[in-house]
Amino acid sequence: MAKQKKPSLNLAEAASAIMDPVGGIELDTDGLRHRGTRSAMAEQKTILLVISGGIAAYKALDLVRRLRERGFAVKAVMTKAAEAFVTPLSVGAITGGRVHTDLLSREDEADIGHIRLARGADLVVIAPATADLLARMAGGHADDLATAVLLATNAPVLAAPAMNPAMWAHPATRRNVAQLAKDGVRFVGRNAGERAESGEAGPGRMAEPLEIVAAVEAILSPAARPLSGRHVVVTSGPTHEPIDPVRYIANRSSGKQGHAIAAAAAAAGARVTLVSGPVSVPDPAGVTVVHVETAREMLAAVAAALPADVAIMAAAVADWRAAEEQASKIKKQPSGAVPPLALVENPDILATVGPDPARRPALGVGFAAETANLLKNAETKLAAKGADWILANDVSPATGVMGGDDNTIHLVSRAGVEDWPTMTKQAVAERLVARIAATLAER
Ligand code: CTP
């Protein structure tokens, strides 16, 4: 059997690890001073490390050291359970600053507060991420400092899970991890193999500190955030056009595609404003969401969100609304006479934004939802709405696109038509965002 690992380091051991000349760092009176070259990427970047209570918490000390060697500033938050495995004193000795442990600490609130702690980070890393912490995150809890910070942060979140293999395999953990991945949380590891707990092997071991550092660098590298500094406005979902207080005109759009695009643009570093009609999909993390109901409200929200570098109009806006919205519910007539329903055309949001040089984003992207003559209609919309690209998709019921998880896109531009294979709406979003980033970089 492999040698047991130590469950924690005490301060003396931590300090000797810091003094280790092989590690290339040394302690000075202000905390840590670094020898060697810092990577340019690490300049100014702050990592907020959340340590939860698992045996792998001892590796968090080495992780801090590796991050600081590369020039990252590291702030640490520990859960109560983590303190059973490593002490705030030893973590503080290595981060070179205070370790935050309490949600309702008068000192913390007066000093920096959990919201500022959450907002001040470029990346939040959870190592180890226990089954319990993942469950509380998936449920949106905020009953301790770690979960409150995780709920309040706008920064990307990277989790390094560590738990017993049976806990990792449990359907509840599978559900929580799937939910968190949908919410935009990235994961590194869990690795198979011998764990610090005696006699337990199998998937559940935390990724090694250097693997976590590599994941951190990948997330924060400029190449991974090609839309950094850009503002992207996205519309998504249907609109509801009221007929009377209980009835409305709508369509089958789910918002899945538009929301996936907003999430992908945010993951690429953009500041994203998502203007969403009524949908049941959740708001993507790290995105400013403006909820609207009608086409006119959507137009006003888009106009208020401009200027933008990119506008992506994925909403299936209702083309018509009731000419007159009735103040009270229209009643059935004993005679069986049906009420006249006069319609008027809604403003076209894309066509309003597209041709106006003052408001026009550098790149205007629309969709064409068609059930016949897909490419011809898309080309007509490209010209009529002044868009740069139209993503044409066939929304006939047989395709399952409306409300489904997959999409087949034909990118229509003045340069021609590009056929994309059928893929998930998330993959469409990622491909579109990569395409947008490349196009903006060329200009
Ligand atoms: N669009 C918009 N405002 C509208 C209608 C459509 O901004 N009032 C945008 C959509 O978000 C999409 C593009 O225009 O990006 C094309 O929408 P689509 O529903 O395919 O076509 P319509 O313009 O509504 O035309 P039609 O219904 O005749 O196909």
C-alpha pair distances (Å), 389 with each of 237, 263, 298:
19, 20, 21
Report CA(184)–ligand 1 centroid distance (Å): 29
What is the spatial distance between Cα 314 and Cα 407, in angstroms, rounded to a whole number? 13
Q: Closest ligand 1 atom to the C-alpha of 315? A: 11
Catalytic entry in 251, 346, 373, 393: 251
Boundary-marking domain end, from 196, 220, 244 = 220
Which residue has a Cα nearest atom 16 of ligand 1? 368
At residue 14, what is the residue type? A
**Which of 349, 353, 409 should be mutated for ligand 1, with most atoms under 8 A from CB?**
349
What is the spatial distance between Cα 271 and Cα 126, in angstroms, rounded to a whole number? 24
Number of domains in the chain: 2
Please check whether residues 395 and 275 belong to one and the same domain.
yes
Does residue 142 sit within a domain? yes
Task: Note whether 165 and 203 are within 8 A (CB).
Answer: yes
pLDDT attached to residue 7: 37
**Which of 350, 356, 390 should be mutated for ligand 1, with most atoms under 8 A from CB?**
350
Does residue 10 sit within a domain? no
**Which of 320, 348, 365, 411 should be mutated for ligand 1, with most atoms under 8 A from CB?**
348
Task: Note whether 48 and 75 are within 8 A (CB).
Answer: yes
Output the DSSP codes for 419-433: EPPPEEHHHHHHHHH
Which residue has a Cα nearest atom 9 of ligand 1? 350
pLDDT attached to residue 264: 95
Does residue 203 sit within a domain? yes
Report CA(437)–ligand 1 centroid distance (Å): 24
Which residue has a Cα nearest atom 28 of ligand 1? 319
Q: What is the pLDDT along the chain (443 residues), one digit of tens a residue?
A: 344 443 333 333 333 333 333 333 333 333 333 333 445 555 579 999 999 999 999 999 999 999 999 999 999 999 999 999 999 999 999 999 889 888 766 555 544 577 788 888 999 999 999 999 999 999 999 999 999 999 999 899 999 999 999 999 999 999 999 999 888 899 998 766 555 555 566 667 899 999 999 999 999 988 888 999 999 999 999 999 999 999 999 999 999 999 999 999 999 999 999 999 999 998 988 899 999 999 999 999 999 999 999 999 999 999 999 999 999 999 999 999 999 999 999 999 999 986 677 778 999 999 999 999 999 999 999 999 999 999 999 999 999 999 999 999 999 999 999 999 999 999 999 999 999 999 999 98
Please check whether residues 97 and 211 belong to one and the same domain.
yes
Residue 106 is part of which domain span? 22-220
Tokens of 420: 């994309």
Residues with CB under 6 A from ligand 1: 235, 295, 313, 315-317, 319, 346, 348-350, 366-369, 381, 385
What is the spatial distance between Cα 223 and Cα 68, in angstroms, rounded to a whole number? 22
Please check whether residues 125 and 216 belong to one and the same domain.
yes
Please check whether residues 426 and 385 belong to one and the same domain.
yes
Report CA(411)–ligand 1 centroid distance (Å): 16
pLDDT attached to residue 198: 55
Report CA(222)–ligand 1 centroid distance (Å): 34
Here the CATH number for the domain that contains residue 355 is 3.40.50.10300
Please check whether residues 311 and 166 belong to one and the same domain.
no
Please check whether residues 199 and 239 belong to one and the same domain.
no
Please check whether residues 186 and 259 belong to one and the same domain.
no
Boundary-marking domain end, from 201, 220, 239 = 220
Rama region for 108: left / alpha / beta (φ>0; ψ in -120 to 50; rest): alpha
Residue 119, preceding peptide bond in cis (omega within 30° of 0): no
251 in active site? yes
Report CA(195)–ligand 1 centroid distance (Å): 55
Here the CATH number for the domain that contains residue 61 is 3.40.50.1950
Does residue 364 sit within a domain? yes
Report CA(440)–ligand 1 centroid distance (Å): 24
Please check whether residues 36 and 103 belong to one and the same domain.
yes
Torsion of CA 352, 355, 361, 366, to 10 degrees: 70
Report CA(351)–ligand 1 centroid distance (Å): 9
pLDDT attached to residue 54: 93
Does residue 386 sit within a domain? yes
Please check whether residues 289 and 434 belong to one and the same domain.
yes
Please check whether residues 272 and 196 belong to one and the same domain.
no
Q: What is the pTM of this model?
A: 0.74
Boundary-marking domain end, from 190, 220, 250 = 220
Please check whether residues 274 and 367 belong to one and the same domain.
yes
Which residue has a Cα nearest atom 4 of ligand 1? 348
Please check whether residues 251 and 313 belong to one and the same domain.
yes
Does residue 85 sit within a domain? yes
Does residue 6 sit within a domain? no
Q: Closest ligand 1 atom to the C-alpha of 314? A: 11
Which residue has a Cα nearest atom 17 of ligand 1? 368
**Which of 302, 381, 388, 389 should be mutated for ligand 1, with most atoms under 8 A from CB?**
381
Closest alpha carbon to 303 in 122, 313, 366, 190: 313
Does residue 332 sit within a domain? no
Tokens of 400: 């399952």
